[in-house]
Amino acid sequence: MKKLSTILLIISMFSCSQNAKKVNRDILLENRDTTVLPGSDFFKYANGNWIKNNKIPAEESAWGIGNLVVDEINLKLKTICDNSIAQNAKKGSSVRMIADYWKTAMDTIKTELLGTTPLNDEFKRIDAISNTNDIIKEVARHHQFGVNSLMDIYVYNDLINSDKMSLYLSQGGLGLPNRDYYFNNDERSANIRKEYLNHIAIMLEYVGEPKETCIRSAEDIIALETILAHKSRKLEDLRDPHANYNPYSKTKLKELNTMYNWDIWFSALNINPDTIIIGQPEFFKEIDQLFAKTNLTVWRNYLKWNLVHSLASTLNKSIEKENFRFYGQVLNGIEVQKPRWKRSIRALENAMGDNLGQEYVKLFFGEKEKKRYSDMVENVRSTFSEHIAQLDWMTPETKKKAQEKLKSMGKKVGYPDKWRDFSNMNIDTISYFNNELEARKWWFNYSLNKLGKPVDRTEWNMTPQTYNAYYNPSNNEIALPAAIFAVPGFKDEMLDEALIYGYAGASTIGHEITHGFDDEGRKFDQFGNLQNWWTKDDESKFKEKADKLVAQFNNFVVLDSMHVNGKATLGENIADLGGVVLGLDAFKKQNNSSKIRQSMV
Ligand SMILES: [Zn+2]
């Protein structure tokens, strides 16, 4: 994944593009702050003038090239969506699905008219809960709606044997971003908890709970979540794949819990896996205690809260606004909510992104671009290979394994060769809520259906119009969606090699390849299996070097007294550092320095 801060310096491309032919100036250099010494604060030196001259817009929490790209893509997607309605395509077709979802998402009158009634049937079920087993059935039902009550569930390659898909259960069930938010003592965290209490109470009131009991119910929900948080691992402890991989047979799982009846849960989901990978056994053990201590009323409120929280964006204005007030304003400091059309595109993207992607690449990313960036991957790969060969601290034995892993790393560039088929997703014009629920159910079933089937290594986990990229350790591959190469205001052929080696070669391709060798990625072998291929000595030397980066980032202050968590962000920081070094060296090898910046003046 990509960090925006490393690429801020290129953002000026957009603002200057209109004058590109007339003005002879260096638009990258002018966004520097030359009053700052690069050796003392490189970030300020490189981006200082951009930050001074570009206020963060009220609807954003950051403002850099990523936001400009997303803005441009959003406009393109909006045109695709609007055109899909005009086409009046046949029912079940990809274009018609876009049209129907888009119509309901933008229909504020109908959404307002429906109010919270779409929740009625689910709330009736929750009100009828009369014992522990009923709670378990509801938890399983929520999984199918993509609502993470009590725990997270997902299907992914088995970490030890990547040729198999496994069912994973992980700590979850929290309404705040992670466990530390429940315990940190600083003023900001205390205020967030206070506002969180108000927020839950307001949401409960909006869905029909009497005003006088809302605060009490919200306190009970937070108390329940705090018990879950107490047994949840810290972010940095989730980075160790070995420690978070605990295979359980069904028998062993039943021994772990006495009150949580797993048979009920399996039958509610209609699954029968031989093994379940439990991320954090101590968290799941705690569920018994929770069941013993928590009364049914609290469970009912907790389940209702999870449902309304997860689906807030599809409900009436007061709920949707209150959801933004807490999660946008209080938690993330965003002043103004994004317009509805942008939020609807995001939702459509999650529901059936491949349908939009097919239309997007037809218009904006072709074979020529695909080849340009595929070639660049190979250039960066060969640079990486040279870097491994030159390492003065790694033994030949580990170097050989590293080279093998690098050589066999797969690449996905631009867009997939085959698109997901959503034709059996039940999209209609009934309501936004209904379409969203149908889409979520489709995705859940799609995911569960992978169990017991051969792994499809051609599948993409991002759509082409996503401004991001990833390294997938289980496939030992990098995936680079078309949008990650977009520079706002420019066609690809207008961008010279110097620019794209910095932008795509360093901060995307080099960054993602390096993830294969960061503190987490290095634990997987060339076949995508969690298997140690390092000698003891090389491993301790790697850790020694990584610890220096941890210490460096622990010292950075984000805001007020809040420091970067060096351990939790280590993977990104290693990837950023590796990416910059690789991009520069790969560029130097292209022997085209004479072309530098020609298109930028
Ligand atoms: Zn990353």
Query: Given phi > 0 = left and psi -120 to 50 = alpha, else beta, which region is 286?
Result: alpha
| Structure token pair of residue 143 | 């999984």
- Please tell me the distance between residue 572's alpha carbon and the centre of ligand 1 in angstroms: 5
Residue 14 has pLDDT above 50, yes or no: no
pLDDT in tens, 326-370: 999 999 989 999 999 999 999 999 999 999 999 889 888 889 999
Residue 512 has pLDDT above 50, yes or no: yes
User: What's the Rg (C-alpha) of the chain?
Assistant: 25
Residue 530: other Cβ atoms inside 10 A: 19
- Please tell me the distance between residue 358's alpha carbon and the centre of ligand 1 in angstroms: 26
- Please tell me the distance between residue 582's alpha carbon and the centre of ligand 1 in angstroms: 15
Q: pLDDT-based confidence at 21, cuts 50/70/90?
A: very low
pLDDT in tens, 103-158: 999 999 999 999 999 999 999 999 999 999 999 999 999 999 999 999 999 999 99
- Return the CATH fold of 365-415+460-601: Collagenase (Catalytic Domain) (3.40.390)
Q: How open is the CA angle 430-436-439, to the nearest 5 degrees?
A: 110
Residue 560 has pLDDT above 90, yes or no: no
User: CATH homologous superfamily of domain 123-314?
Assistant: Neutral endopeptidase , domain2 (1.10.1380.10)
- Please tell me the distance between residue 524's alpha carbon and the centre of ligand 1 in angstroms: 16
pLDDT in tens, 175-191: 999 999 999 998 889 99
**Residue 469 contacts residue 415 (beta carbons within 8 Å):** no
Residue 9 has pLDDT above 50, yes or no: no
Say what the pLDDT of residue 494 is.
Answer: 85
pLDDT in tens, 47-101: 999 899 888 999 988 888 788 889 999 999 999 999 999 999 999 899 999 999 9
Cα-Cα end-to-end distance for the chain: 31
Quote the DSSP letter at residue 524.
Answer: B
- Please tell me the distance between residue 33's alpha carbon and the centre of ligand 1 in angstroms: 27
Say what the pLDDT of residue 68 is.
Answer: 85
- Please tell me the distance between residue 161's alpha carbon and the centre of ligand 1 in angstroms: 24
**Full-model pTM:** 0.87
Locate the domains of the chain by residue range.
9-54, 123-314, 365-415+460-601
- Please tell me the distance between residue 571's alpha carbon and the centre of ligand 1 in angstroms: 7
What is the average pLDDT value for the chain, to the nearest integer?
91
- Please tell me the distance between residue 573's alpha carbon and the centre of ligand 1 in angstroms: 8
Question: How far is it, in rounded angstroms, from Cα 473 to Cα 522?
Answer: 9
| Structure token pair of residue 460 | 């993409």
**Residue 492 contacts residue 553 (beta carbons within 8 Å):** no
Residue 532 has pLDDT above 80, yes or no: yes
Say what the pLDDT of residue 412 is.
Answer: 97
- Please tell me the distance between residue 527's alpha carbon and the centre of ligand 1 in angstroms: 20
Quote the DSSP letter at residue 335.
Answer: -
Residue type, 12: S
- Please tell me the distance between residue 507's alpha carbon and the centre of ligand 1 in angstroms: 9
**Residue 369 contacts residue 482 (beta carbons within 8 Å):** yes
DSSP per position, 367-432: HHHHHHHHHHHHHHHHHHHHHHHH-SSS-HHHHHHHHHHHHH-EEEEES-SS----TTS---SS-H
**Residue 472 contacts residue 459 (beta carbons within 8 Å):** no
